[in-house]
Amino acid sequence: FRAALSLHYQHDPLVLYVDGKRSGSVVGGRLGAHLSGAYGITDWLEVGLQFPLVLFQTGQDLSVHGLQPVTNAVSLGTSWLSVRGAPIQQSRGSVFDFALGLGLGIPLGTSETLTSNKGISLAPSVSIGRTFSRDEGDGPSEFLRVGASVHYQWRPRQPLTPTATAF
């Protein structure tokens, strides 16, 4: 079992450009938190949850472009339910570790705070890694971990205005 709380700040995460020129920040600054947890059902299968929260955000008035100002309110974002399986593991005699994952984004946020996707999102992932050991006289000792992960997130397009779409 693991649980975590992380804080982060984003500067200009959503900026409006019109005809190639910057018109302003739809969201200029955002302070957020992620509450997450995971549980290992077996030694190779894990399920997890993640709840993103917007604690504070600012934005410019871009109503001249048909955009409503972003609401500054504590808001829950698109939350994630995930499953991750690691069927190939060094601890089981394999040369490397290999895992597959899939996240399901559930749109729980609001459009006023720009914290929700307009439908279900999917996030598949693939990870591979290897731990290298060396003999320190009293048995092998782990000294280096090398790994790589590839993640992709699919989410529905969201119109900001009749002529502008956010991805």
Q: Quick one: 148 exposed, middle or buried, by C-beta within 10 A (0-12, 13-18, 19+)?
A: exposed
- For 116-141, give one letter per residue: b (16+ CB within 10 A) or e: bbeeebebebebebeeeeeeeeeeee
Percentage above 90 pLDDT, the chain? 63
- Of 17, 96, 82, residue with least CA distance to 50: 82
Query: What does the pLDDT look like over 73-121, one tens digit per residue?
Result: 899 999 999 999 999 999 999 999 999 999 999 998 888 888 888 889 9
Give just the sign of the alpha carbon dihedral 148, 154, 158, 163. positive
Rounded Cα–Cα distance for residues 120 and 31 (Å): 24
Cα separation of 101 and 87, whole Å? 11
Is the model's pLDDT at 165 over the cut of 60? no
Mean predicted lDDT score pLDDT of the chain: 90
At residue 164 the predicted structure's pLDDT band, cuts being 50, 70 and 90, is: low
With CA atoms as reference, report the closest residue to 154 among 110, 128, 119, 126.
119
In tens, the pLDDT along 133-159 reads: 877 767 667 789 999 999 999 988 777
Evaluate if residue 167 carries a pLDDT over 50.
no
Total length of the chain: 167
Q: In this predicted model, which residue has the larger pLDDT, 61 or 166?
A: 61
